[in-house]
Structure formats: C-alpha cells, structure tokens
C-alpha cells in the first residue's frame, strides 16, 4: 500500500521520539512491502519561531491531505509567557478542531514486564485493561473565554460547554468499543455540581438505554474516579468522559503502566486522517539528552497503522516488537526502576532489531 504520513515532530523531546517512530514505520514498510511517504511539518513552538503561528496554513493543508498524522509533542518554557499572544498548544488544539477529531482513544494496559516500574502495588495493577475515550473538540477547552477588568484587577473565564450531539457521538463510540471488549462503559462527570455534566449524564443515559441496552453502564463522579482509577483499575473497561477530565485522568492512569512514556493515543473523527501521538508532552526537563522513552510514540505509530491504514497485521507486529524488547529487559530511564537503561536511540534500535 502507498500511504502519505505527515510527521509533526514539535518541540522538546518531540523530534527525538518522532525520529524513532519514523524508523519503525520505515521498517514495517520494508518488511510488509508498503511504501510510506513522510512529510515533516512545523507545528507548535518551532512554528511560532519560524512562521509566527503555531499551526501554519501549509502544515494544516498537508495534514488534511495525509492518510495519517504522527505528532511528537509541543510546548516548552520558551513559549510559556502567560502574556504571549499565542502558544504552541493552541496549534494542537486548532489542528484537532479543524480536522474534527472529537474522539481521543487512550488505552491503558500495563505490561506484565513493567509491573515493578509502577509506584502502585502489583495486586492493584495486574489485569488492568482500560480504554479511555476522551471527548477532544468540545468542553472547557473550546468554550467561550476571555478576560475583563475587575475591581480587584482582572477577571478571566473559560466556559465548559457541551451540546447533545457532542455527548451522544462520543458515548456511542464508547459503547461500540465496549461491544468489542468486555461490554462495560463507565461515564465520568461532575453532575453533582456542573450543569454541563448534568446534560452529559442525561444524554449518555439516553444513548445507552436506547441504542446499547446490552452494555453494562454506570456513572462515576470525576473526583471519586481519580481515586478508583488507582485503587481498583481492573473494574473498568471503557471509560468515556469530557475533554479536561479525560486529560487529567489519563496522565494519572499512566502510573498503572508506570510512565507517561508508555501511553499512546489516537484522535479520530467521522472521516479524514487520524492524529496519533503519545499522551505525554514535550518533557522540557529531559529534552536534548537522548533519554526520552520512544515507546509511546512507537505504539502511537502502530495505532495509526491500525486505525487509519487498516494494516492490522503490521500494527500487531509493532506491538509484539515492543513486548519483545520489554521481555528482553530493555528499559529507558523512566521505566528502569533503578536498573540499567537505554537511550532513546538504543530503545528504538531494539524495536527495529525485532522487526527485522
Ligand atoms: P510532560 O508530559 O512533558 O512531562 C511530565 C513528566 O513526564 C516530565 O518529568 C517528563 O520528563 C516525563 N516524561 C514525559 N514524556 C516522557 C518520555 N517519553 N520519556 C520519559 N519521560 C517522559 O508534561 P509537562 O512537563 O507538564 O509539560 C511540558 C510541555 O508539554 C508543556 O508545554 C505542555 O503544554 C506540553 N504538552 C504537550 C502535549 C502534546 O503536545 N500533546 C501533551 C502534554 C503536555
Ligand atoms: C494532551 C495535552 C494537550 C491537552 C495540551 C498540550 C493542549 O495535555 O494532549 O494531553 O490538554 O489536550
Ligand atoms: Mn495531557
């Protein structure tokens, strides 16, 4: 198959991990007889520096034409001034919105080889297999916002807004995903306080009752979920929630596999290319040191093959290669639990060696 893959390396560790993701995709193309064309585009802080905007028109145009997009991460201290007129993160948010990527899939399935890399106890983690569905183009990230004068100085607001259709479509996807898994959906909200969550809860219940009566369905408040996620993670199958709650809960959930560096994600819409990225950020604290874990990005590349290109066997080969390097005891610093560790490049090379 011929495929056109846009790479958005981004900032910080982004270029370091994307390089490994690209090498892995090239190895897959070679092994399975495909031809992948890669186009690398500026996005994020680097694009602010080179183009004065975090999402240049040419980058957006290239993304629209792509079969799949692989992103490293954007942001960093250089662009963190709260008075700046734009930010790297705004580019990513615009890209998600422009491509209507409303569904962010974040699987959390700890590797048996990494149980000791987690700060949590083995008996809590073992057997966990959760698929988070985070709504990605609505909620507090995209509601009306502003700043105005106030007697004390200024007042700022960011509104959390959802409409019926936005809730219904993500809940529907969650239920469909659950049909292919163990048949349970948990919706997470803050309906005891927020009007927007009460709408979310009404719509979710309606969709589940009308369209998915066979799926076991329950609701959990987000504050309690933060606790259940690390005290009884095995009890959850598909978890569906809004944009900000999903963002926060999945970073917390990264402690189940033991590191943010292990969690990939797929952002999908009704049509068009998907956007694939690790859930972590640009990790400025370890950027340019060559020690970032590339596995989340490599696993995101596998999700791209699976969801956007329909190459399930190829995706499975990457997943198996990651398992194999972990079996062989290869670790980067974030998952080394004090043991010997590899550089970003060495970990990428270990995956490539298995892929052949
Ligand atoms: P972060 O995810 O970048 O880092 C949090 C911690 O996890 C750091 O200690 C970091 O070293 C570690 N970490 C992250 N990825 C790692 C990896 N692959 N290997 C080893 N360790 C890893 O979060 P932050 O520090 O809060 O944010 C830094 C910047 O990244 C901010 O500008 C933020 O807006 C941005 N960010 C971008 C994205 C994205 O582009 N999708 C996602 C999250 C944060
Ligand atoms: C993520 C990040 C982004 C988000 C930021 C960088 C806009 O934290 O992808 O999880 O909050 O969605
Ligand atoms: Mn995040």
Q: State the catalytic residues.
A: 141, 190, 223, 247, 251
* pTM score of the predicted model: 0.98
Closest C-alpha residue for ligand 1 atom 37: 281
What local confidence, expressed as pLDDT, does residue 338 receive? Answer: 84
Spatial contact of 215 and 184, defined as CB atoms under 8 Å apart: yes
Q: How far is the CA of 175 from the centre of ligand 1 (A)?
A: 30
Helix (H, G, I), strand (E, B) or coil at 288: coil
Nearest atom, ligand 2, residue 93 CA = 7
CA distance 106 to 122: 22
Please tell me what DSSP assigns to residue 111: -
133-145: string of b/e by CB count within 10 Å (b at 16+)? bbbbbbbbbbeee
Tokens 């596999």 map to which residue? 257
Spatial contact of 124 and 230, defined as CB atoms under 8 Å apart: yes
pLDDT tens, position by position, for the chain (356 residues)? 999 999 999 999 999 999 999 999 999 999 999 999 999 999 999 999 999 999 999 999 999 999 999 999 999 999 999 999 999 999 999 999 999 999 999 999 999 999 999 999 999 999 999 999 999 999 999 999 999 999 999 999 999 999 999 999 999 999 999 999 999 999 999 999 999 999 999 999 999 999 999 999 999 999 999 999 999 999 999 999 999 999 999 999 999 999 999 999 999 999 999 999 999 999 999 999 999 999 999 999 999 999 999 999 999 999 999 999 999 999 999 999 888 899 999 999 999 999 99
Q: Is 135 in the pocket of ligand 2 (CB under 6 A)?
A: no
Domain 1-106+264-356, CATH number (from 3.40.50.20, 3.40.718.10, 3.80.10.10, 3.30.70.1140):
3.40.718.10
CA distance 90 to 104: 17
Closest C-alpha residue for ligand 2 atom 6: 89
What's the angle, vertex CA 112, arms to CA 339 and CA 13, rounded to 5?
A: 55
What local confidence, expressed as pLDDT, does residue 337 receive? Answer: 87
Beta bridge partners, 103, equal 135, 268
Please tell me what DSSP assigns to residue 342: B
Q: 177: annotated binding-site residue?
A: no
Compute how many other C-beta atoms are within 10 angstroms of the C-beta atom of residue 99: 22
Q: Which residues contact 22 (CB under 8 A, 6 or more apart)?
A: 7, 38, 70
Spatial contact of 34 and 2, defined as CB atoms under 8 Å apart: yes
- φ, ψ at 275 (rounded to 5°): -115, 130
Which ligand is located closest to the Cα atom of residue 243?
Answer: 2
Q: How far is the CA of 281 from the centre of ligand 1 (A)?
A: 3
Nearest atom, ligand 1, residue 294 CA = 18
CATH number corresponding to 119-256: 3.40.718.10
Q: Which residues contact 151 (CB under 8 A, 6 or more apart)?
A: none
Beta bridge partners, 69, equal 6, 275
Domain with CATH 3.40.718.10 in the chain: 1-106+264-356, 119-256
CA distance 165 to 177: 18
């Amino acid at each position: 198959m011929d495929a056109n893959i846009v790479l958005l390396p981004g900032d910080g560790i982004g270029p370091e991990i994307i390089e490994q993701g690209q090498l892995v995709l090239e190895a897959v193309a070679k092994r399975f007889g495909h031809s992948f064309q890669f186009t690398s585009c500026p996005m994020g802080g680097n694009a602010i520096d080179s183009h004065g905007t975090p999402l240049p028109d040419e980058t957006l145009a290239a993304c629209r034409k792509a079969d799949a997009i692989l992103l490293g991460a954007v942001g960093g201290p250089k662009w963190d001034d709260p008075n700046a007129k734009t930010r790297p993160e705004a580019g990513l948010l615009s890209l998600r919105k422009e491509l209507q990527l409303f569904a962010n899939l974040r699987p959390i399935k700890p590797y048996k080889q990494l149980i000791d890399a987690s700060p949590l106890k083995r008996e809590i983690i073992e057997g966990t297999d959760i698929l988070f569905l985070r709504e990605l183009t609505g909620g507090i990230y995209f509601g009306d916002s502003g700043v105005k004068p106030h007697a004390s100085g200024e007042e700022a607001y960011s509104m959390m807004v959802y409409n019926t259709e936005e809730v219904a479509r993500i809940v529907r996807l969650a239920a469909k995903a659950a049909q292919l898994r163990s048949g349970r959906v948990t919706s997470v909200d803050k309906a005891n306080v927020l009007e927007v969550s009460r709408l979310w809860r009404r719509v979710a219940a309606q969709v589940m009752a009308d369209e998915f009566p066979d799926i076991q369905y329950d609701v959990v408040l987000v504050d309690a979920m933060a606790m259940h996620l690390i005290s009884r993670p095995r009890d959850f199958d598909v978890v569906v929630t809004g944009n900000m709650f999903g963002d926060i809960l999945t970073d917390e959930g990264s402690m189940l596999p033991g590191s943010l560096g292990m969690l990939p994600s797929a952002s999908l819409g009704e049509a068009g290319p998907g956007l694939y990225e690790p859930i972590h950020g640009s990790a400025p604290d370890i950027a340019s040191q060559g020690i970032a874990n590339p596995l989340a990005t490599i696993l995101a590349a596998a999700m791209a093959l699976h969801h956007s290109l329909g190459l399930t066997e190829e995706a499975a080969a990457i997943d198996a290669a990651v398992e194999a390097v972990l079996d062989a005891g290869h670790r980067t610093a974030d998952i080394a639990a004090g043991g010997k560790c590899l550089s970003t490049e060495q970990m990428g090379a270990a995956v490539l060696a298995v892929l052949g």
